[in-house]
Amino acid sequence: MKFNPLFFGFLFALALGPRAEAIVVIDDFDTYSFLNVTGPPSGPASLFSSYTTSESIGGERDVFIERTSANSGAVAMDVSGSALSQLSYASAPSTSGNLRLVYDGLDGLSVLNPTGLGGVDLTQSGVNTGVFLRSASDLGASITFTVYTDADRFSVVTVPIAADPSFTFTDYYTDFTSFSPAGSLGGASFTNVGAITLELNGSTAGTDVSIQTVVASVPEPGSCFLIFAAGMALLLRRKPSRILR
């Protein structure tokens, strides 16, 4: 049968039912972008770029990429390049680095605005209970979410991404109650969010990581996303390391 994305999208929405309306998309990585640090001089180096995107919460994705190793190898990030509708991070052999995504509204600045989203309710009046993402990594990594209400109230959680040489995508769901308060005046209110950051720790040299979607939702979307993703599997399973090798 010929693949029809609208048909699979209909099945996805039908499976979620009324809860589909409550899902808050943080990012689904549709619009192409590319950023990398490579070549001499050797040693730590970083770059920043800002992208206006309709698929990112607040309409903008700020990206910081960093090489942390002492060599001159490359670390690179692309969105919807190595594979459609996903973020791909890749590091060259013996090279380590980090990637930071910031969602703080339309400003084009590298400085975090902890109230830039203007008070988004990630829970949608209590329906959504956590953060859901799909990710894969050949050598393993971790992703740290920080959710801000303002500069003094924010919460943090780190999600380990399992090492899997087959690069099979896995669903990760983290309840809001798993976030730890980290601000000087306590934790974030998930009903009043001013900024969100996502930090990918690529300290394992040569690791590759991909992320397909990040949303605030209920736990169930993992199985429902599989319905929609079935027709796209051959496209989305491409390993991102080819952007460096």
Per-domain boundaries in the chain: 5-161+172-239
Residue 240 has pLDDT above 80, yes or no: no
Count the neighbouring beta carbons within 10 Å of the beta carbon of residue 132: 23
Poorest-confidence range of 110-119, 167-176, 216-225? 216-225
What pLDDT, on a 0 to 100 scale, did the predictor assign at position 220?
63
pLDDT per position as a tens digit, 89-139: 999 999 999 999 999 999 999 999 999 999 999 999 999 999 999 999 999
pLDDT above 90: residue 170:
yes
Dihedral (Cα; 110, 112, 113, 117), 10-degree rounding: 90
**Arithmetic mean of pLDDT, 50-68:** 97
The predicted pLDDT at position 126 comes to: 96
Q: Of 24 and 232, which is predicted with more confidence?
A: 24
pLDDT, the chain, mean: 87
Q: 227 vs 98, which has greater pLDDT?
A: 98
Integer Cα distance of 223 and 228 in angstroms: 9
Binning pLDDT at 50, 70 and 90, where does residue 231 land? very low
| Ranges 42-46, 177-181, 198-202, 228-232: which has the least confidence | 228-232
Strand-pair partners of 46: 66
CB contact set of 89 (below 8 Å; sequence gap of 6+): 75, 76, 77, 99, 200, 202, 208, 209, 210, 240
Average pLDDT over residues 167-190: 98
Within its chain, how far is the Cα of 42 from the centroid? 28
Domain 5-161+172-239 has CATH 1.10.3470: no
Per-residue pLDDT, averaged over 63-84, amounts to 96
Q: Is the pLDDT confidence value at 159 over 90?
A: yes
* Enclosing H/E stretch for 124: none
Q: Do residues 22 and 215 lie in contact, with contact meaning Cβ atoms separated by under 8 Å?
A: no
- Strand-pairing partners, residue 181, are 155
